[in-house]
Structure formats: C-alpha cells, structure tokens
Structure 1
Amino acid sequence: MTDPAKPAVPETGVADLGLFGKPLFEDPSARALRRVGVVDVGSNSVRLVVFDGAARSPAYFYNEKIMCALGAGMAETGHLSPEGRARALSAMHRFSALADGMGLSELTVVATAAVRDASDGRAFREDVLRETGLRIWTIDGEEEARLSAQGVLLGWPGAYGLVCDIGGSSMELAEISGGRVGRRVTSNLGPLKLRDIKGGAKAREPYIKETMEQLAEKMGKQRDRLFLVGGSWRAIARIDMIRQGYPLMVLHEYRMTRESVRETVKFIKKSNMEELRLEAGISSGRASLVPFAAEVLSRLVKTFKPKDIAISSYGIREGMLYEQMPQRLRDRDPLIEACRFAEAKDARVPGFGRTLYNFILPLFRSASAPRKRLIKAACLLHDVSWRAHPDYRAEVCFDNATRANMGGIKHAERIYLGLALLHRYSNKRENSRFADLFEMVDEATRRDAEILGKAMRFGAMLWADKDGDLGELRWHPKKKELYLRLAPDMMPLFGEVAEARFNSLAASLEATATVKKARR
C-alpha cells in the first residue's frame, strides 16, 4: 500500500513545484543511470537486463532470459547441473558480447542460491571470469531479499508490507516500510529443491509447513500487503487471470486475494498442465515448477494472512538499479518521471504538458491528490503518440497507457489514464475493441476520464507556446456553468474546430458554455 500523496499545488515557471518537483531525468545523477546492464544468475534462469530512459522509471532497453536450471538435482549431487552449467556459461558469453555491442562500460552480475550453495559454485565463477571477463558477485539469502525488496520500492515508493521473492532454489522474505527494508530471511522453499524431495506431496506438505512457521517466527506478524516477486509467482498470477477471465493481461500490480489464491491452487491441481501452459504462454521449464510453487504460495497465504496480494514484475534486477540511485531520485514519483521522459522524447512541443495541466486544472479543483497525479500524467502524455495514423491514434493511446511498462500505477488507474488519452483524440468510445477493459472502472470514473480527455483535446488547440498564457477556464459545478477567457494571443487560434471542441467539453460537463474573448 502506498502512503497518501501530498496535496497538489499549482505549478509555475520552468520548474515543476510541489507534488511533482523539478524533472530529474536530465540531472547528472540520473543521466549516469541511463544505460545500466545487470545479469541475474539464478537457480532456474540467467537473465540480462539493460535499463534505459528515465532512471526513476526505467524502460527495458534489452531483456533476455535463458532457462538454464543450474540448481536442478543439487539436493542429490551438491553441485551445479552439468547441462545447466554449460548453458549458463554459453549465456554469459552471449551477454558479454551483447554488452560490448551496446557500448556498456560494465555489467553487474550477481548469483543467488544455486551458485552460492553448490560445491562447484566457485569454480563456475572462475570459469566465467576467465572465459568472458565477467566477475560474478555471489550474494547471500538476506542480501537477495534486500535487493528484491528494493526492486519493489522502485515501483511502489513508500510501499509497506511483506515482499516474497521465489527463485528456483530458495525463497526470501523481507519487510518494507517507509521506503526502507527491514527484517529479512531466506529459506530452501524454492521449487527446484522441493521437486527433489522424496515422497511426493505427502512429504513436501509438512516440510513446507514447518519451514513457513519458522519464517513467521523470525518475521513476526505481517498482515499488510504481500508483494510477490519471481517468475513462478508471475506464472501463477497469469493462470489466475485465465481462471477469472481477467481482461488486462498486465502482471505488474495485478491483485489477488487469499480466496483467489486458494481457488487458483485448486485449479492448477485439477488442470492439464500442458494445456494450461500453452493457454497462459508459460515456458515448459517454468510450468514444470508451477505446481511446487503453488504449494508454497498456499501455505504462505495461510500462514501470514495478508490483507491483499500484489504481483511485482520488479525484483532483484530492479533492486540493483535502485541501489545506485541517490535518495532524491528514489523519492520521486516513478509514473510522473516516466511521463516526463516520454514527453521530452516524443512530444512535438516538450513542456506544453505542464501548461496544459495548469490550464485545465480548474475543472478538477475538488479532485483527490492521487487523481490530480493521473491528470498530470495524462497531460504529459497527451501528444506523445502523434506519429500514429490519425484513424488509430485514439486506440494507440489507450493501448500504450494500459500496457506500457510504468511503475506506480494500478490497473484501474491505467484504464482511467487510457480513457482520458483516448478521448484526447476521439469524442466517442463506442464500438471500441477495448470495451471489455472499460468495464474495469465504474461509470463515474469513465465520465471523469472523458471530461479530462475532452479538456486536453480542446486545450491542445491552443498550442502555440509551451510557456504561453492560454487564458483561463472557470468551472462552477453547482450552477453547471463553464467560462473561458482567452488570452489575446490565443484569439486567432479559437476557430471553428476549437469552438466545437470547447462545446463538446461543456456538453460532457452538462454545462452552459460562455466564451469571453479578451481585447488586445
């Protein structure tokens, strides 16, 4: 859960003030994080991620995962899987070459449970260093928990609750509160290790229960939000979406309840996993671990009884990026920073989003701070899709807003933002192929998004100078009266199309419209 935002204040001058602060993506401390490459050598997969863009809410410039199963069979042999080791070494050769091609000065490489526990883990690290020049840093379980928790904080500033990161050979827990990581523990509840336990489900059940109770004793009561990190959790969330017919297939910020976890675990047990794997788009390697991870999740939820459950696509790799951020960058709103960067990169008049926000804000004086935050985001994004074909621009905007890689935004907020941007380019939304997604928010929210979109649609007609005086909107909701005072320089821009868009905005407000044209 995120702490309530501070009230928004009007923004003036070149710098954004108040809730949003001055943009930092061009600051040297942020620019240093523009192109950062990290490699996570896990028990099940080896992944390269190269971050780029706005450092506080980075885009994934490159993201490649190779399923190596380094930890397969370790319970019996004590050493890394020979086949997995060969595949992982090959992956490191590839990632080193990719990093050179991208011009990265270095790759930060960390290894987790399999490499740290294997008898030949050190020899594997030496092979990688000798053959590729890449140095692998092996981290212990508590450090893995800390970095995963920091990854969650990258997407949810101010979040509090319990972070659970499941890998192939281990499972970590960490508590977060006030932007900081607290207690953290590690365990052997990774699905690769559970799969190797002899005796099947009857043997696994008491082992998982006993281990979970020991973890609960160390962590204490954790009844707030549970953040789930890791590929196996994401696979289970994808299956939960399929079971419930959930229309927005975006895993980050997907919410589950204790009841939905119980029902999905039952659904997994009775389903044909191969058919389910194909429907959910899960790799065969990952799908083979899902039943074991489901057993752990069932016991995790029973033991800690979280208030609600959120899926995080951010984990240890994002935590490694967060580690390099100065605190003033960590404190920033990831959604707003991402939208600012998108505007600076793609809008025709970068900076006009701020002017547009100030112009239409009188329509939303009574809006909550979280809603004003979304209004700000919409204004920053209102022109970034202008290159799309005019016939499809509205739907492109909606699709981008609802599916883009952005942190700090809930699924319902994505729909609101998408609807507002759709109405930035279209008066109507009927007969859209996204109609099932519209139903994820109530009619009042849809109407509010339409008003925002039409306000931006009109305000964009006065686009002349990003720092210019557009005039003033005044809105009297009780009297249902909308007034527009145009600045003198805007008079020539208030033609037939602009007038029609102003009237359309007034109609959405069910208001009478009055235009006061200022004299020069």
Structure 2
Amino acid sequence: MKRSRNRASSVAVIDIGSNSVRLVVYEAAARSLISVFNEKTLCGLGREVQTTGLLAPDAVEKALTSLRRFHALCKVQRVGRVYAIATAACRDATNGPDFITEAERICGVKIEILSGPMEAKLSALGVISGVHRPDGIVGDLGGGSLELIDVRGNLVRVGVTLPLGSLALQDLAHKSLKRAQRIVKTELEKVDRLRAGHGRIFYAVGGTWRALARIHIIQSGYPIKVMHGYSIPAADALDFARRLRRLAATGMLANIEAIADARRPLLAYAALVLEYVIRVARPKTIVFSTFGVREGLLYSKLPETERAKDGLISAAQTLNELLSRSARHALELIAWTDRLVRVVHLRETDEERRLRHTACLLSDIGWRVHPDHRGEQTLELIINGNFGAITHQERVFVGLSVFFRYAGLSEQNEPPAIIKAQLSPHLLERARLLGAAFRVAHLISAARPGVLPATHFRSHDRNLMLVFEHRLVDLVADRVGSRFKQLARLVGRSGSIVLR
C-alpha cells in the first residue's frame, strides 16, 4: 500500500525563539515525524532583554515580517493544523505581550508562551521521541535561556530554567567572555540536580550547540553528517569547548563558513556553557539531539498508544510503505528471518532484533535505483535518513545490511573502509549475515508477498536446509542454492535445498 499525502492531516509548528523564528511543516502528527518544509529567520528577539527588559524594535519588525511569510506559507501548503509557541524572550520582555498580540493577529492562531518548566518538559519529550530509551540530562540551549531536565526512559522530572541562553549570556556579560564565565559558573553550580548526570548522557538540544557539533564533525573528518545522535565522549567535548573558547578570544571563529553569520558570535558562549555543564554534571557522553521543543510538543499531542510505538520501527514502516515494491513482503521477511534465527540458535540481543527488523523493512527501498548503484545509494539513504530513535552506529549497521543485500559479499564490492570502521567486528559480520539472508529471500520471492511463508528452515547436525513447499518447485534454481550455501557458511553450517 502506497501512502498518499493528505494535506488535511499536515501540521505545522511556528516557534518564536529568542534567537530564531522558525516554521516547520510536518506531513502528519505521528510517532515518526516527516518534515516537508522547514524555514527559519535569525531575528535575535532576545539580544537586549536582559539589560533593557525589551524586545529590540528592529528584531520585532524582522520577526513579524517572517511571521507574515510563515502564515502565507501555511495557507499555500493548506496545512491542516498550526501550533504556535514562544519562549524566553517573549515571556521575559516587558513588551512581550504587545508583540504576541500582533503576532497572533498575523498568524491567525493562539500563541502559547511557554513557561520555563514547560519548555524544559517539552524539550525532554522531544528527546524521548527521538532517542531510544534515553537516560540522562537534557539541556536545551536557546537564545534566551538554558533548560535542564532529567529523563529516564519515558519518565521526566521537573526541569529548571537559567538565563544562560547564548544571546542572554552575551547581553548579561556585555560581550565579555570573562564576565560570562563567572556568570555561567555561578548559575550552574547552584543546580544540584545537574549532578545527577554523573556517568550518564548529556543530551544537547538547540541550534547553537548543533553548530558546535557541525564544527566538530568537520574538524574530525567524521563520515556521517547527520547532527541527530552525533555523540562525543565528554572528555573530548570538554577539550573541544575549551579550544573553541580560546579561538573566540583571538577572533578566529568569525571565519567559520559552515556556520551562519548571525550565529558565529554566539559559539563561544555556547561552548562556555557546555564546558561548565560537563564540569558540574560529569557525564560520560554528549549526544546532540535535533529533536527538541517542537517535536516534544507534537509528541505530547499524540494518543498514548501512538506514543508507545518505537520511533525507529515507525519510521522504517513509513519508508517501507513509500518506497518498497510490497510493504507486506517486508513483514513476511521479518517473520522469515525470525525463523532463521531460531533454527540456527543465533544469539541476538533485543537491540539486535530491533535493528534486524528495521533492516527487513528497509531491504527493498533501493529498487528504483540503477542496479549498479543500489548498494551505495541505499547505504547513503539509510545513514543520512531523516529519522530518530537510532544511534549513528545503528544507522551504519542497518545501512550495511541492506548494502550487502544489493552489492553482494565479494571483496570487489566492499563499502567504504571509513564506514565499516564505525562497527565492531561482531556487528560487521552480523550485517554481512543479514545481507546474505536478504539476498536469498529476495531472490526466492522477487520481493512479492506470499512466497516466503511457503519456505521453512530445518537443521540436522551441521546441515542447514531450506525447505520449499512443492508448489514452489519451479522457483528453485542453482543460483538460489549457491546463495543459500553462502548464507549457511556464515552461520557455520553446510547448506542444502529440500523440496517437500
């Protein structure tokens, strides 16, 4: 079944932040969000709020101009439902209510001014929606504030808000990094609950922290360019933040072309906050999340049954329905590989089973690509896919499983060494095994439903048998036999085809 876009089901979020004003339109409010339009304007609404108590007039005019465009874009795209939120600058500024009144008139919707605790909660819900079983401290660094909140699985504690957003900090410190350092140190050392992050993960949310991640990716030569799920050991992140601060003191950050001009002056303040967060919380890892307040808002609107779904499996199911020749065949492939795992007594963790099922759902999404390039193109699509609830290493595992399905297992068709290096030898061999299984299954069935359920596995001594029901006898060929023997060798068996 192919999905067709229903415009009435589309949903948009207008996010009026202290630094940027953004419109994101999603195909639907679902467990796996698919953005169809995303635009932001760096307005700097919060750049003077801490010292003057006001939204700057030029920033207000720029924001209202952007909101007029966003309203028009929602009408052009026939968005079914629009949510609008505003954060620290609008709740703290004396003229914030006047701005919101005019913004509501332009947008034609009610704008919710989020309290600090609510902003923290929505950030945590965003991480829950985009990270599989999170466990750590979520830190959302905006232009006007820093929200900190503890999350374990689906459990969220009460969050705190601090005036340490990049613009707010720059304003409070009168653009002095030394003064900013004293402010950050004083504010963060008062947050006792931050110490609960010791040895856990710190989830960094917010555009300026994502900019830091982008710089780190470029400098380290890391092969995956996806921001979401990018992780750095805390010790490395601490060294990196200190180095950026030193570069800022020499003015060298102004030449970083990968970062928007309006955001570059804020990098040093974001690095300073991250440095002291690491010092106080002492996490083991920093993980950057592109899922934050907007995604948390939509996640909070979902029914409980929808929120309980696995975000990765939901995303894979959507891609399967959109891109595969038969969505039902992928479900049969899951059951077929389930049987294979049972018969050969393959040890598999819950996480490995989850990734195997994901790979099954994505195993046919590259069929429209030219046959000579299906392997590398599908690998790129999966590694850089716009979905969450998956780590970078897991992206590589799933991507290589499907790569081997298309490219085969010969040494002449190996994936790039820099990609293979992201996996342990165990996971790399498991990806080869899964790819070999896909090569057998898709050759037998031609990716059509109704065939795989008529084949079965048996094991006797060291011989693994693939049993065909008699009605499928004409599907048996030497090529099927050779591929199955290759699969059997990967699980330490000999392989044979049997007709029942």
Q: Which amino acid aligns with 2:114?
A: I
CA distance in 2, matches of 1:219, 1:445: 34
Name which of 319, 326, 329 aligns with 1:352.
Answer: 329
- Pair 433,514 (structure 1): closer, same or farther in 2 beyond 3 Å: closer
Relative to 1, partners in 2 of residues 1:38 and 1:293: Cα closer, same or farther, differing over 3 Å? same
Amino acid corresponding to residue 168 of structure 1 in structure 2: G
For residue 202 of structure 2, what is the amino acid of its counterpart?
Answer: L
Q: Does 1:89 align with 2:64?
A: yes
| Residue equivalent to 1:3 | none
Q: Does 1:379 align with 2:355?
A: no
Structure 1 gaps of 5+ residues are: 1-22
SS at match of 1:515: strand
> How far is 1:510 from its partner?
5.1
> Which position in structure 1 is the counterpart of 2:349?
368
Query: What is the deviation of 1:229?
Result: 0.6
Letter in 1 for 2:449: K
1:274 aligns with 2:254: yes
Contact persistence 2:26–2:35 (CA under 8 A): yes
Aligned with 1:461 (options 428, 432, 443): 443
1:293 aligns with 2:270: yes
Alignment partner for residue 328 of structure 1, among 278, 300, 305? 305
Aligned to 1:488: 470
Q: Is the 8 A contact 1:33 1:52 kept in 2?
A: no
**Shift of residue 86, structure 1, vs aligned partner:** 1.3
Name the aligned partner's letter for residue 375 of structure 2: A
SS of the residue corresponding to residue 41 of structure 2 reads strand
- Cα 1:355/1:123, change in 2 over 3 Å: same
Q: Which residue of 2 is the match for residue 70 of structure 1?
A: 45
Residue by residue over 1:231-254, the C-alpha shift from the partner in whole angstroms, topping out at 9 and shown as x without a partner, is 111111222223333221221111
Q: Give the letter aligned to residue 420 of structure 1.
A: S
**Aligned residue identity for 1:236:** L
Counterparts in 2 of 1:360 and 1:233: CA distance versus 1, 3 Å: same
How much does 1:360 deviate?
A: 2.4
1:128 maps to which residue? 103
Counterpart Cα distance in 2 of 1:475 and 1:214 = 63
* Partner AA of 1:267 in structure 2: R
Farther-moved stretch of structure 1 (179-188 vs 157-166): 157-166
Distance 1:406 1:105, change over 3 A: closer
Q: Distance in 2 between matches of 1:516 and 1:341?
A: 36
8 Å contact from structure 2 (residues 7, 27) kept in 1:
no
Tell me, in whole angstroms, the C-alpha distance in 1 between the residues paired with 2:106 and 2:25: 22
Counterpart residue number, 1:255:
231
Distance 2:217 2:316 in 1: 28
Question: 1:160 aligns to what?
Answer: 135
Does residue 192 (structure 1) correspond to residue 167 (structure 2)? The answer is: yes
Q: Which residue of 1 aligns with 2:396?
A: 415
- In structure 2, C-alpha distance between the alignment counterparts of 1:48 and 1:434, rounded to whole Å: 37
Q: Are the equivalent residues in 2 in contact too, given 1:462–1:490 (CA < 8 A)?
A: no
- Between the aligned partners of 1:434 and 1:475, the Cα distance in structure 2 is 35
Deviation at 1:429, TM superposition (A): 6.1
Q: Go from structure 1 to structure 2 and tell me whether the alpha carbon gap of 1:474 and 1:357 turns closer, same or farther (over 3 Å shift).
A: farther
2-side partners of 1:109 and 1:430: how far apart? 53
Residue equivalent to 1:406: 387
Contact 1:54 1:341 (C-alpha < 8 Å) held by counterparts? no
In structure 2, distance between residues paired with 1:44 and 1:421: 41
Q: Which amino acid aligns with 2:421?
A: E
Q: 2:54–2:93: 8 Å Cα contact kept in structure 1?
A: yes
Aligned-pair CA distance for 1:436: 1.0
Please state which structure has a larger fraction of its residues in helix.
2
1:61/1:215 Cα in 2 relative to 1: closer, same or farther (>3 Å)?
A: same
1:393 CA drift (Å): 0.8
Higher mean C-alpha deviation, range 401-410 or range 492-501: 492-501
Letter in 2 for 1:232: T
- Residue by residue over 1:460-493, the C-alpha shift from the partner in whole angstroms, topping out at 9 and shown as x without a partner, is 12227524423112457xx653211112232212
Structure 2 CA distance for aligned equivalents of residues 53 and 136 of structure 1 = 20
Letter in 1 for 2:279: K
TM-score, normalised by the number of residues in structure 1: 0.88
The change in CA–CA distance for 1:195 and 1:393 in structure 2 (over 3 A counts) is: same
**Shift of the alpha carbon at 1:508?**
3.8
Q: Structure 2 vs 1, CA of residues 431 and 273 (structure 1 numbering), >3 Å: closer, same or farther?
A: farther
Match of 1:16 in 2: none
1:154·1:314 contact (CA, 8 Å) conserved in 2? yes
Deviations 1:209-236 (A, max 9, x none): 11001222x5563322211110111111
- The answer as to whether partners of 2:245 and 2:272 remain within 8 angstroms in 1 is no
The 8 Å contact of residues 151 and 315 in structure 1, kept in 2 or not, is answered as yes
Change (3 A) 1:236 1:160: same
The residue aligned with 2:425 is 443
CA contact 1:184–1:219 (8 Å) conserved in 2: no
Cα separation, partners in 2 of 1:494 and 1:53, compared to 1, 3 Å: farther
Residue by residue, what CA displacement relative to the aligned partner does 1:314-370 show, whole Å, maximum 9, x if unpaired?
000001111111111111111111111211222111111121122223443421111
Task: From 463, 470, 477, give the equivalent of 2:454.
Answer: 470
Larger mean CA deviation between 484-493 and 419-428 belongs to 484-493
**Corresponding letter in the other structure for 1:361:** D
Q: How many Å apart are 1:201 and its aligned residue?
A: 2.4
AA matched with 2:228: H
Partner Cα distance (1:418, 1:497) in 2:
25
AA of the residue aligned to 1:262:
L
For residue 273 of structure 1, what is the amino acid of its counterpart? L
Aligned partners of 2:125 and 2:59: how far apart in 1?
28
Query: Which is worse superposed, 180-189 or 244-253?
Result: 244-253
Residue 131 of structure 1: how far off its partner (Å) = 3.2
Give 2:456's aligned amino acid: E
CA contact (8 A) 2:10 2:80 kept: no
Against the structure 1 CA distance between its residues 347 and 54, is the aligned structure 2 distance closer, same or farther, given a 3 Å change threshold? farther
Alignment partners' CA distance in 1, 2:101 and 2:412: 61
Structure-2 separation of matches of 1:318 and 1:288? 27
How far, CA to CA, are the matches of 2:494 and 2:285 in structure 1? 44
- How high is the TM-score relative to the length of structure 2? 0.91
Q: Which residue of 2 aligns with 1:319?
A: 296
Structure 2 CA distance for partners of 1:221 and 1:360, relative to 1, 3 Å: closer
Output the amino acid matched with 1:62: F
On the 8 A contact 1:386/1:393 being kept in 2, the answer is: yes
Give the structure 2 partner of residue 4 of structure 1.
none
1:19 maps to none
